[in-house]
Amino acid sequence: MSKHAVSQPNEDRGREGKLQLELSEIVQTLGIPLLRLRILMAVRNAPYSTGTELMRHVECCRSALHNHLRILEAGGFVVHDVRHVDWSDKPVRVYAAISERCEDAAWALFDAVAGE
């Protein structure tokens, strides 16, 4: 195999495994932190999740989660709100993705890579 050949992912992984493998290779090559992308995907898939819920979903520590959420908020991809939840006496932060911003970024990346 030449050094430029692309290895095929294991067929047993199914579509989701292939997508994740390709995604991790792509973001690593482009210099996008995979954890940040996983957090954004989690926020998009489960709007109004708390930090604790997101931390469990993406399997990271609290400080890493909050650092990436801060960067995503500064970039306009995520917003937070303070709400009361059933399991806490105190109000907690919940996070939601800004769909339009995420879609615009995805299309901009597509256009840049596809040369459109």
Single-letter residue type at 97: A
Which of the given ranges, 2-6, 51-55, 110-114, has the highest pLDDT on average? 51-55
- Mean pLDDT (whole number) for 21-25: 74
Confidence of residue 58 (pLDDT cuts 50, 70, 90): very high
For 59, left (φ over 0), alpha (ψ -120 to 50), or beta?
A: left
Whether the CB-CB separation of 56 and 46 falls below 8 Å is answered with no
CA distances from 83 to 6, 41, 66, 88, 109 (A): 47, 21, 17, 10, 34
Q: What is the pLDDT of residues 71-116, one digit of tens each?
A: 999 999 999 999 988 888 899 999 999 999 999 998 998 888 887 6
The one-letter code for the residue type at 73 is E
**What are the domain boundaries of the chain?**
14-114
Residues in the chain: 116
Asked if the 14-114 domain carries CATH number 2.40.440.10, the reply is: no
pLDDT of 109: 86
Q: How far apart are CA 104 and CA 110, in angstroms?
A: 10
Give the Cα separation of 105 and 99 in Å (integer): 10
With residue 76 as reference, give the H or E element that holds it: none
